[in-house]
Amino acid sequence: MASSTLTFVRGRCCRLLVYSQSRISILSCLKFQSTSVTGDSSTDLKLIDSPVKIQQKAEKISKAMMAYLEKTRKYDAMMAEEISQYEIGRRHLANIMGTDPETFSQDDIDKAIAYLFPSGLYAKAARPLMKHPYEIFPKKKMAQFGADGRPFHHLFYTTKQNYYSLMHNIAWKVEELKKEEDRSYQRGGVFRNPPILNLKGSSWIDLETLKAQVLEKINEHEHRRFVLLMEHLVAQPFSYKEKDFIMKYRKEYESQLSQFYFPEIETTENGKQFCISTGKRKKAEATLTLWIEGSGKIEINGQDLSFFQSTKERNQLLFPLQFLQKIGKVDFKAEVNGGGTSGQAGAIRLALSRALASFMDESTVEKMRLAGLLTRDLRRKERKKPGQPRARKKKTWKKR
């Protein structure tokens, strides 16, 4: 009896082996259980799943994999065609502009498109463009399951495995930082404040950037949950140890200081630092020399601050020194010509602000920019219009 049972099982295994060669290998899916038969020393082997169920499962998995492979093949063929068309268009565009196609970059393409196809449309998405296909078409995910139908990722059935995997990773990092805090307290007995992670000048990535990173559809609520969890991670005392991970999800502000002019710092024979700057306001032009270490001496066209009779012009001139708390600590000499008193005071103020900014750090210069000290005042008197007493004033209209 035992031998016949064993022969039957072996025959079944042989038939499954022949089937696996025609489809896919499913021998790993076979599960046997051994049971001891009372009254006999032999072992009876039984198959858990019937061959019919295993065959149906294998055919279903095979169709899913075939469908995925077919989609992948079509996508790769489409991208290859788009890339070839892009390269042809790039070379034609380089020939039109009279440049070398081998060194024709994406910036050159954008400038050529803007030159050849000018558009008055306000929406950038509606304007003509020419980008690499990988920048236009969305990325595709790789296969999420194997030939046996089992998903690779343990969070596959959440339907957003990349997003929840990221959240899971952040939560574990928070726990590790808490353990590090406990270990630090146990070693020293007294908790010492670790270095502070400086995140100034950057912000958390927006919803669209997060979607592009996880390649999944994320809504506003899930983005807020992500930001809150990252804020919790940053709030940990030892968060500086995860700086590289945190900065992956931070976006730095675009610096606007590069568009401003700052004079170079020079040094006298006595080792005293100074710089020479210029400023304009209306028709007035000023040239100013600033010594960063001084006693508060001010000279304007050979005179002191009494060069301006009005208190308004004096306050406007001294505002940069008052803003930086440098009154009585620096010396400057200014030569101004053209325009009236208001324009001359504005020109000296701009030159003084530029000279002071050369000696300040980046954070202080940013505060000066926000206060409007580094921006030239382009306002001027509006011209008189024909048929009117002044620029905007009209003649009195009488009905009768």
CA angle in degrees (0–180, nearest 5) for 333-329-336: 20
CA gap 313, 307 in Å, rounded: 10
pLDDT at 399 over 80: yes
Nearest in space to 236 (alpha carbons), one of 288, 188, 187, 184:
184
pLDDT at 190 over 60: no
* pLDDT score at 388: 92
Nearest in space to 136 (alpha carbons), one of 145, 146, 128:
128
Reported as a pLDDT band with limits 50, 70 and 90, residue 23 is very low
Domain 267-370: which CATH class?
A: alpha beta
**Tokens standing for residue 81:** 């065609």
* Per-residue pLDDT reduced to its tens digit, 386-397: 999 999 999 988
* pLDDT score at 40: 40
pLDDT at 21 over 60: no
pLDDT at 281 over 50: yes
Answer whether 236's CB lies under 8 Å from 178's CB. yes
Strand 331-337 to 298-300 pairing:
parallel
Lowest average pLDDT, out of 129-133, 152-156, 183-187, 188-192, goes to 188-192
* Per-residue pLDDT reduced to its tens digit, 102-152: 889 888 898 888 888 877 777 777 778 888 888 877 666 666 666 656 667
Question: How much of the chain exceeds pLDDT 70, in percent?
Answer: 77
CA gap 386, 376 in Å, rounded: 30
**Size of the chain in residues:** 400
Answer whether 281's CB lies under 8 Å from 350's CB. yes
Answer whether 241's CB lies under 8 Å from 180's CB. yes
* pLDDT score at 320: 92
What φ, ψ does residue 352 adopt, rounded to 5°?
-65, -40
* pLDDT score at 39: 40
* pLDDT score at 251: 87
CA gap 277, 336 in Å, rounded: 12
* Per-residue pLDDT reduced to its tens digit, 138-155: 666 666 666 656 667 777
Mean pLDDT of 359-375: 87
Q: Greater confidence, 24 or 327?
A: 327
* pLDDT score at 43: 37
Q: Greater confidence, 196 or 278?
A: 278
SS3 letters for 303-357?
Answer: ECHHHCCCHHHHHHHHHHHHHCCCCCCCEEEEEEECCCHHHHHHHHHHHHHHHHH
**Matching residue, tokens 């004096």:** 314
**Tokens standing for residue 195:** 């270095």
Using DSSP's 3-state secondary structure scheme, residue 17 falls into: helix
Domains of the chain, by residue range, sit at: 2-49, 59-136, 156-252, 267-370
338: left (phi over 0), alpha (psi -120 to 50) or beta: left
Handedness of CA 92, 98, 100, 105 (dihedral sign): negative
Name the DSSP letter for residue 302.
T
Percent helix, percent strand, percent coil in the chain, to nearest 5: 50, 10, 40
pLDDT at 189 over 90: no
Mean pLDDT of 66-84: 83
CA gap 319, 85 in Å, rounded: 60
Q: Greater confidence, 4 or 315?
A: 315
Q: For the chain, what is the mean pLDDT?
A: 78
CA gap 177, 170 in Å, rounded: 11
Nearest in space to 258 (alpha carbons), one of 144, 113, 362:
362
* pLDDT score at 15: 35
Using DSSP's 3-state secondary structure scheme, residue 125 falls into: helix
